[in-house]
Homo-oligomer: A and B are copies of this chain.
Amino acid sequence: MNQPHEQEILRRLKSVEGHVRGVQRMVDEGAYCIDVVHQIVAIQRALKRVSAMVLDEHLRSCVTDAMRGPDGGEREKVLDELLQVFEATGKV
């Protein structure tokens, strides 16, 4: 990954980590269940944002290189991986 992109992704993952710890505290202190669920949904949304950023990076580096390269097997591979990611996504 390029440096600034990677730093931003790490920053967001650190923020997600803090958010997860915050939800642990909520549970520990007996917060209202519905509030806990909404915080968990917010974390899932933040993670979706991170995976979109990682995918963006991937498309602009590995996928672009493979697609423009001479190796048909490699092209096949990156396309199959993209489809698998698309199918895994949303099944959460």
> Which A positions have Cβ atoms within 8 angstroms of B?
1, 6, 9-10, 13-14, 16-17, 20-21, 23-24, 27-28, 30, 32-34, 36-38, 40-41, 43-45, 47-48, 50-52, 54-64, 67-68, 75, 79, 81-92
Residues of B within 8 A of A21 (CB): 17
- The 4 A-B pairs with the shortest beta carbon distances in the complex, nearest first, are A90-B90, A67-B67, A33-B58, A44-B92
- Complex contacts, A20 vs chain B, CB 8 Å: 13, 16-17, 20
* Docked pose: A44 CA to B38 CA in angstroms: 14
A47–B40 touching, CB < 8 Å: yes
Residues of chain B within 8 A (CB-CB) of A58 are: 33-34, 37
